[in-house]
Amino acid sequence: MSDTTAPKAVEGGLNFLDDRLGSTTFLKRNLKKVFPDHWSFMLGEIALYCFIILLLTGTFLTLWFKPSMTEVIYDGSYTKLDGVKMSEAYASTLHITFDVRGGLLMRQIHHWAAVLFMASILAHMLRVFFTGAYRKPRELNWLIGIGMFTLGMLEGLFGYSLPDDLLSGTGLRITQGVAEAIPLVGTYIYMFLFGGEFPGEDIVPRLFTLHILLIPALILGLVTAHMMIMWHQKHTAMPVRNQTEEQVYGYPFYPVFMAKTGAYFLFTFGVLALLGAFAQINPIWLFGPYDPGAISAGSQPDWYMGVLEGALRLMPNWEITAWGHTLSLNVLIPALIPLGIIFGGAAAWPFIEQWVTGDKRLHHVNDRPRNAPVRTGVGMAAVTFYGLLWLAGANDVLADKFHVSLYATTWFFRFAIFIGPVLAYILTKRICLGLQRSDRATIEHGVESGVILMSPDGAYSERHEPARAEERHVILSKENPRPERPAVDANGIPAPSTKGPVGHLRSRLNRAWIADDVPIEDVGHDGHGHGNGNGHAAIEAGEDHREISKH
Domain ranges of the chain: 43-239+251-290, 305-445
Give the per-residue pLDDT at 187.
Answer: 85
Which distant-in-sequence residues (6+ apart) come within 8 Å of 409 by Cβ?
A: 392, 395, 398, 399
* Predicted local distance difference test score (pLDDT) of residue 474: 87
Q: Under CATH, which architecture does the 43-239+251-290 domain have?
A: Up-down Bundle (1.20)
Per-residue pLDDT of the chain (551 residues; tens, 9 = 90+): 344 455 565 666 667 766 666 665 666 666 777 777 778 888 899 999 999 999 999 999 999 999 999 999 999 999 999 999 999 999 999 999 999 999 999 999 999 999 999 999 999 999 999 999 999 999 999 999 999 999 999 999 999 899 999 988 888 888 888 888 888 888 888 888 888 888 778 899 999 999 999 999 999 999 999 998 988 888 888 887 777 777 777 777 777 888 888 999 999 999 999 999 999 999 999 999 988 877 777 778 889 998 999 999 999 988 888 777 788 888 889 988 998 999 999 999 999 999 998 888 889 889 999 999 999 999 999 999 999 999 999 999 999 999 999 999 999 999 999 999 999 999 999 999 999 999 999 988 888 888 888 888 888 888 888 888 888 888 888 888 776 666 655 566 666 666 678 777 888 888 888 888 888 888 765 433 333 333 333 333 334 455 555 65
Per-residue pLDDT, 540: 39
Q: Give the strand pairing for 546-549 and 537-538.
A: antiparallel
E strands, 435-534, in order: 447-454, 460-465
Cα(119)–Cα(51) distance, rounded to whole angstroms?
Answer: 12
- What gap in Å lies between CA 100 and CA 477, rounded to an integer? 57
Rounded distance, CA 201 to CA 194, Å? 8
> What pLDDT is stored for residue 544 in this prediction?
46
pLDDT at residue 77, as a whole number? 92
Q: How many CB atoms lie within 10 A of CB 310?
A: 24
Q: What is the pLDDT of residue 539?
A: 34
Residues 6+ apart with CB under 8 A from 432: 369, 370, 371, 372, 373, 376, 377
Torsion of CA 510, 512, 513, 518, to 10 degrees: 120
Tell me the DSSP string of 284-323: HHHH-B--TT---TT----GGGHHHHHHHHHS---EEEET
CB atoms closer than 10 angstroms to residue 143: 16
Task: Report the candidate in 541, 245, 247, 536 with the shortest Cα–Cα distance to residue 549.
Answer: 536
Pairing of strands 247-252, 546-549: parallel
Please name the residues in contact with 70: beta carbons below 8 A apart, sequence gap of 6 or more.
87, 88, 201
303 touches 121 (CB < 8 A) = no
